[in-house]
Structure 1
Amino acid sequence: QRRSADEIVIPLVKAKEFLSAMRRPRRNLWDRSRPDVQQWIQQFMHMGYDEA
Structure 2
Amino acid sequence: MGTHYITEDCTTCGACEPVCPVEAISPGDPMYVIDKETCTDCGACDDVCPVEAIKY
TM-score (norm 1): 0.30
More helix by share: 1
Structure with greater strand percent: 2
> Which of structures 1 and 2 has the bigger CA Rg?
1
Scaled by the length of structure 2, what TM-score is found? 0.29
